[in-house]
Amino acid sequence: MEIRIRGLTRDYFSEGKRIRALDNVDLTIPANRIFTLLGPSGCGKTTLLRCIVGLETPDAGEIAIGDEIVWSTEKGIFVPPEKRGLGMVFQTYAIWPHMTVFENVAFPLKCRNMPMEEIRIRVARFLEFVQLDGFENRPATKLSGGQQQRVALARALVAEPKVILFDEPLSNLDAKLREETRKELRRFLAGLNITAVYVTHDRVEALALSDLIAIMRAGRIVEVGDPKQIYFRSGDRFVADFIGRANLIKGKVAALEGSHAVIETDVGAIVGLNPRGIEPGTEAMLCVRPEFIRTEATGVAGGRNLFRGKIETLLFIGEAYEGEIRIGDTLVTTTISPTVDVVEGGDIFLSFDTDHCFLLPA
């Protein structure tokens, strides 16, 4: 089901000050996709999610789920949470401590008076999905935090709601399990025909899991796009910087070359993609991500976008070095293969991949 949000505003008051948690948010969340709200702590992600669920009262605006308006300040409509047909997985576990794992997951189905035999089959399927088969009779309190979170996930999915909302559901799992679970979650949600709204501040999680990502900042939606659009073609400096490591180099567009443009910077003339069609003579910013900078000891290959710099700092992080390279007044962060012979203070050549660096408005 599609979710449409128009003009949504929510203020909090704390110590005599007004905090605008949501600032006139317009957003359409398409049906049957995994849609992530991503942004730094305090940007309003949870507030927006709670407004959709009905746990929060907006000050202005309208929310429709499918054909039904579930909140409208103007029309005085409020559909209570339990009538919105949603499933929710919270950051805190919110499972029932007096019940076993089986009873927790079976609860939404029992409320619907589903026959016991069918309940058993469904609960078993979802417990297997969250890797908790064999834990059916364990009291919920005798589980680790991560296991409790997986019970919450199974309980939300078992009722097969049309929309499921996740508020940082993996943040309490250890790194390995988190990676596995997000892979499984993506595969599973894709097969469920369900609209999933997912809140996280973890950019890798957002990129790996989502069909679409909305980046939020200070109560507003800054940009919406699929992971590759956001990563490679963002039109916003904050987004480009937030979604991945980024070197942002200021300059002025000198010429257009089809889908590319030449930008004059302190580093030199750099060719990059120009997805926003920024015109020559305009101040702009070039975004080049460390993973799309090739490093060479000699620079013999030549060609465009090749620059000589000095290694200012070098940090060995296992699979690579993280280097800061000075080219004139500009410091460029890059990764350098441990197989390249490099030392701090030494010279190095950097080559920017013309198809993976891009211009964005200054």
Spatial distance between the Cα atoms of 357 and 49, rounded to a whole number of angstroms: 33
Smallest distance, Å, CB 184 to ligand ATP?
23
Smallest distance, Å, CB 280 to ligand ATP?
39
Write out the two tokens for 185.
């979650």
Q: How many CB atoms lie within 10 A of CB 177?
A: 16
Residues numbered 282 to 321 that lie near ligand ATP (CB under 6 A) are: none
Query: Interface with ligand ATP includes 146 (CB under 6 A)?
Result: no
Query: Interface with ligand ATP includes 87 (CB under 6 A)?
Result: no
Smallest distance, Å, CB 21 to ligand ATP?
4
3-state secondary structure of 125: helix
Query: Interface with ligand ATP includes 42 (CB under 6 A)?
Result: yes
Query: Interface with ligand ATP includes 21 (CB under 6 A)?
Result: yes
344 Ramachandran zone, left/alpha/beta (phi>0; psi -120 to 50): beta
- Nearest partner of 316 among 348, 291, 340, 295, judged by Cα: 340
- Segment interacting with ligand ATP, rule: CB under 6 A, options 35-43, 128-136, 152-160, 185-193: 35-43
Spatial distance between the Cα atoms of 155 and 144, rounded to a whole number of angstroms: 17
Smallest distance, Å, CB 289 to ligand ATP?
24
- Residue closer to ligand ATP by CB (options 37, 360) is 37
- Residues 44, 225, 290, 323: which binds ligand ATP (CB under 6 A)? 44
Smallest distance, Å, CB 64 to ligand ATP?
21
Smallest distance, Å, CB 284 to ligand ATP?
30
Q: Which residue is nearest to ligand ATP (CB)?
A: 46
- Residue closer to ligand ATP by CB (options 21, 197) is 21
In sequence order, the β-bridge partners of residue 334 are: 323
Q: How far is CA 172 from the centre of its chain?
A: 17
- Nearest partner of 158 among 134, 186, 138, 188, judged by Cα: 188
Cβ pair 95, 151 in contact under 8 A: yes
- Residues 39, 161, 227, 323: which binds ligand ATP (CB under 6 A)? 39
Query: Interface with ligand ATP includes 14 (CB under 6 A)?
Result: yes
For 288, 304, 326, 359, the CA distances from 259, given in Å and listed in that order, are 16, 16, 29, 11
Quick note: the x/- pattern for ligand ATP over 175-204, rule CB under 6 A, is --------------------------x---
Cβ pair 93, 151 in contact under 8 A: yes
Which chain residues interact with ligand ATP by CB under 6 A? 12, 14, 19, 21, 39, 41-47, 201
